[in-house]
A and B are shown apart, each in its own frame.
Chain A
Amino acid sequence: MSTLEQAVDLDHAIVARRTGPSLNLPALIRRALVYVLLSVAAFVSVFPFLWMIVSATNASPDIVTGKATIGEALLTNVVGFFTQVDAPRIFWNSAFLAIVGTLLTLAVSSLAGYGFEVFRSRFREKIFGGMLLMLSIPFAALMVPLFVMMANLKLINTYAAIILPGIASIFIIFYFRQATKAFPHELRDAARIDGLKEWQIFLHIYLPVMRSTYAAAIIIVFMANWNNYLWPLIVLQTNEQKTITLVIQSLSSAYYPDYGVIMVGTILATLPTLVIFFVLQRRFVEGLLGSVK
């Protein structure tokens, strides 16, 4: 048989396998099982969103009894939300904290990650290892000392109290150090010969080349900041600085919580992260795959 004939034969075999009459029973069962599992997983992740949207259209008593169909109370709930809370104020608070916090975290942590990878020093690995160890300390153990620190610095009830502790994020430093391993060192050499100082290399070469990495980091940090609940709850004690997550929580701890209103708030709180994610989605995937071309 010539190689061409063999190739044609092989082709037929592949086509036959794909088109299916020869799809045998165990394979069929395996495939069915996969679909069932994936469907369950999809349902589990999508259901809360559906429930949230459906509930926002129903009155609170209906929600409590488990009504799962679209209702007519959406307008009432929206009006209720905007009369019960100072929406512009709390969205401004949340947005300010999330945006400024994200920018500062990226600025500091990406610089640190870059530095850890690019500059050789005798203690580099020891310091880095020590930092990674600290990742294992749960936030609950840091809460009280951090609070005391903030109190001593007279930062309670300020934005700074929320932003500062997160700026040097060990996880983001680690993430950027890993990503920097794929940053070609010859680009640095070329830039040095072109006359750039270290900070100019970072700004003019590293930053634009690594934009996928930054996009992924923006999503991660922005979501964490936007959804941050525990720490703001501790350091923000007046209503002026409260964020959307805190406000939603306070709504649900009312004597008669209005779940319709709460669901409207939840939807509004979800939107910014959704927008950020969809805008940066393609870059997010690239960033996690670590593509430097």
Chain B
Amino acid sequence: MSGLRLRGVTKSFGSVKVIKGVDLDVADKEFVVFVGPSGCGKSTLLRMIAGLESVTAGELHIGDKLMNDVDPSRRGIAMVFQSYALYPHMTVRENMGFALRFAGVAKPEIQRQVQEAARILELEPLLDRLPRALSGGQRQRVAIGRAIVRHPEVFLFDEPLSNLDAELRVHMRIELARLHKELKTTIIYVTHDQVEAMTLADKIVVLRDGIIEQVGTPLQLYDDPDNLFVAGFIGSPKMNFLKGVIVEGGVRLPGHGDVVVPAREVAAAGTPVTVGLRPEHFAQGGPAMIGVRVELVEHLGGETYAYARHGQSELMTLATNNARDLAAGDTYEARFDPAELLVFGADGKRLR
């Protein structure tokens, strides 16, 4: 039974600091996803938890034990790699039983464990094949099976689905969610795909440049982001951002006829801000309105997205509540509820 506790954890490679002080608590049996753009340090942090990279400073506890200098095999963890890292010269059965064999577990017991894991993952017919005779999805399941037989207290996944095709990825995502329910263990999962993060996580940790930007449940991050980065990173299609200035009673958005949108008083009048509106906020309509010029329309059948500009703004994405007759070149009255508006200061911090 094991959670994790990280306190002031840093990592440097020579003079380059890649993890710049991370404090994080992971509860027992929690599914935590580290997400962030490439180079944000999420994989390094995972490898530090695994013991594959040393901890430069700070404390790393797994369960109640300080694990900074403990060998990877003694941390009670198992890891699934992006490339699966199956031993190519061993059959599926040998791959899955390898760690146990090295730990000196008796043969019949290994056999039982491997069978059990193979049953959970529906790998029984493949047990005597070599990895090269398996498809990508099957290899992935073997890699997970290899982790399961060790009965770890914490599972670590390093971008496990990124080598699979889109359809299989969706399938494996559901499998992983099911597996988490069945195994009832702590999982730490690294991905750069925010959809994976949203769908799998109990808790998302958004990382950028070696620091944690925000921690929260998927919907907390979606509805209530702390800063521009999290607001822009979580959600698909992305949140729209418009430059504006705080005025009395609202935010002025320069563009066609300077729309003033009512907003709570979050800063002194005259403060330059960025406002964020999610595409679907425009589908619900509301009292506030900005006029936009449509540049491109995407008909998905169930929903129609318009890509449009408000004055000189960046290209915005608007859900239109399936306005099927919309065409490029149209002007469109984008209506929304001003209560949905998120306001960010010049430094990117959310103004609440």
Q: How large is the interface on A (under 10, 10 to 19, 20 to 34, 35 or more residues)?
A: 10 to 19
Closest chain A residue, CB of each to CB of B131: A293
Instruction: Write the B72-100 contact mask toward A (1 if CB under 8 angstroms, else 0).
Output: 11100111011101111100000000110
For the complex, count residues of B whose C-beta is within 8 A of A.
25
A119–B37 CA distance with the chains assembled, in angstroms: 28
A193–B86 CA distance with the chains assembled, in angstroms: 13
A196–B86 CA distance with the chains assembled, in angstroms: 15
B87–A192 CB distance below 8 A: no
Among residues 176 to 210 in chain A, which have CB atoms less than 8 Å away from a CB atom of chain B?
184, 186-187, 189-196, 200, 205, 208-209
B81–A190 CB distance below 8 A: yes
The 8 Å CB contact of B73, one of A192, A205, A208, is A192
The A interface is mostly helix, strand or loop, or mixed, namely: helix
Query: In the complex, which residues of chain B have a beta carbon less than 8 angstroms from the beta carbon of A194?
Result: 73, 98-99, 102
The smallest beta-carbon distance between A185 and chain B, in angstroms, is: 9
A44–B99 CA distance with the chains assembled, in angstroms: 55
A189–B81 CB distance below 8 A: yes
B103–A193 CB distance below 8 A: no
A193–B52 CB distance below 8 A: yes
Asked if B184 is at the interface (CB within 8 A of a chain A CB), the reply is no
**Which of B77, B87, B103, B146 gathers most chain A CB within 10 Å?**
B87
Closest chain A residue, CB of each to CB of B81: A186
The 8 Å CB contact of A195, one of B52, B89, B99, B132, is B99
A25–B103 CA distance with the chains assembled, in angstroms: 71
A235–B164 CA distance with the chains assembled, in angstroms: 60
A169–B98 CA distance with the chains assembled, in angstroms: 34
A193–B49 CA distance with the chains assembled, in angstroms: 11
B72–A187 CB distance below 8 A: no
Closest chain B residue, CB of each to CB of A196: B102
Query: In the complex, which residues of chain B have a beta carbon less than 8 angstroms from the beta carbon of A190?
Result: 79, 81, 85-87, 146
Query: In the complex, which residues of chain A have a beta carbon less than 8 angstroms from the beta carbon of B81?
Result: 186, 189-190
Query: In the complex, which residues of chain B have a beta carbon less than 8 angstroms from the beta carbon of A184?
Result: 83, 85
A195–B73 CB distance below 8 A: yes
A193–B81 CA distance with the chains assembled, in angstroms: 11
Closest chain A residue, CB of each to CB of B100: A194
A195–B85 CB distance below 8 A: no
The 8 Å CB contact of B79, one of A193, A196, A211, is A193
Query: In the complex, which residues of chain A have a beta carbon less than 8 angstroms from the beta carbon of B9?
Result: none
A22–B52 CA distance with the chains assembled, in angstroms: 63
Asked if B50 is at the interface (CB within 8 A of a chain A CB), the reply is yes
Closest chain A residue, CB of each to CB of B74: A195
A194–B143 CA distance with the chains assembled, in angstroms: 12
Query: In the complex, which residues of chain B have a beta carbon less than 8 angstroms from the beta carbon of A191?
Result: 87
A190–B82 CA distance with the chains assembled, in angstroms: 11
The smallest beta-carbon distance between B103 and chain A, in angstroms, is: 6
A200–B98 CA distance with the chains assembled, in angstroms: 12
Query: In the complex, which residues of chain B have a beta carbon less than 8 angstroms from the beta carbon of A192?
Result: 51-52, 72-73
A208–B72 CB distance below 8 A: no
The smallest beta-carbon distance between B288 and chain A, in angstroms, is: 50
Given contacts A194-B73, A194-B98, contact A209 B88 (CB under 8 A): yes
A205–B86 CA distance with the chains assembled, in angstroms: 10
A200–B99 CA distance with the chains assembled, in angstroms: 12
A293–B73 CB distance below 8 A: no
A187–B87 CB distance below 8 A: yes
A186–B50 CA distance with the chains assembled, in angstroms: 13
A195–B83 CB distance below 8 A: no
A200–B77 CA distance with the chains assembled, in angstroms: 20
The 8 Å CB contact of A186, one of B71, B83, B146, is B83
The smallest beta-carbon distance between B291 and chain A, in angstroms, is: 44
A184–B78 CA distance with the chains assembled, in angstroms: 18
A190–B146 CA distance with the chains assembled, in angstroms: 10
A186–B43 CA distance with the chains assembled, in angstroms: 13
A195–B77 CB distance below 8 A: no
A186–B86 CA distance with the chains assembled, in angstroms: 9
Closest chain A residue, CB of each to CB of B79: A193
B85–A187 CB distance below 8 A: yes
Beyond the given pairs A186-B83, A189-B81, 14 more chain A to chain B contacts, judged by CB atoms under 8 angstroms and listed by A's residue number, are: A187-B85, A190-B81, A191-B87, A192-B51, A192-B73, A193-B50, A193-B52, A193-B72, A195-B71, A195-B102, A200-B102, A209-B89, A293-B88, A293-B132
Going nearest first, the 5 A-B pairs with the smallest beta carbon separation are: A195-B73, A186-B85, A194-B99, A190-B85, A208-B89
Task: Give me 10 A-to-B residue pairs in the complex whose CB atoms sit less than 8 angstroms apart, sorted by A's number.
Answer: A189-B50, A193-B50, A193-B73, A195-B71, A195-B73, A195-B102, A205-B87, A208-B89, A209-B89, A293-B132
Interface residues of A (CB under 8 A from B): 184, 186-187, 189-196, 200, 205, 208-209, 211, 292-293
Interface residues of B (CB under 8 A from A): 47, 50-52, 71-74, 77-79, 81-83, 85-89, 98-99, 102-103, 132, 146
